Amino acid sequence: MPYYCYEHLQESPRCEHHPGFEVEQPIRDLPLQVCPWCGAPVKRVLGASLIKSKNLDCELRDKGFTKLVRVDDGLYENKTRRPGEEKYVDRRRPETLPRLEKTIRD
């Protein structure tokens, strides 16, 4: 079954799956309208619907995306960490931010 990515439409600080999550769903299922955990409105994120593997983070990374998951105020886990990048991104520590100049290639 394919995995779909969803994003909360608004801040949902108490939801552990904020800002986004992945759901395994049959293709014919309608998109979720609300977060299964907190009930807040969500939208399906385009581009992920054809990805049929659990290695979504790897695919994002290969496409040049960086996926950050908020773990605390101002602290994010870098799910698409590349060699040399920190596992956790701290907004207050610029040296932990993903190295975009190494990611973006023409």
Binding to Zn ion by residue 38, rule CB under 5 A? yes
Tell me if the bond preceding 19 is cis, omega within 30° of 0.
yes
Please check whether residue 54 is in contact with residue 47, taking contact to mean a CB–CB distance below 8 angstroms: no
Q: Which tokens in the block code for residue 38?
A: 């907190």
Q: Does 69 bind Zn ion (CB under 5 A)?
A: no
For 3, the enclosing helix (H) or strand (E) is: strand 3-8
**Residues in region 4-33 near Zn ion by CB under 5 A:** 12, 15, 17
36 binds Zn ion per the rule CB under 5 A: no
Out of 5, 6, 23, 35, the residue judged to bind Zn ion by CB under 5 A: 35
Closest approach of Zn ion to the CB of residue 44, in Å: 14
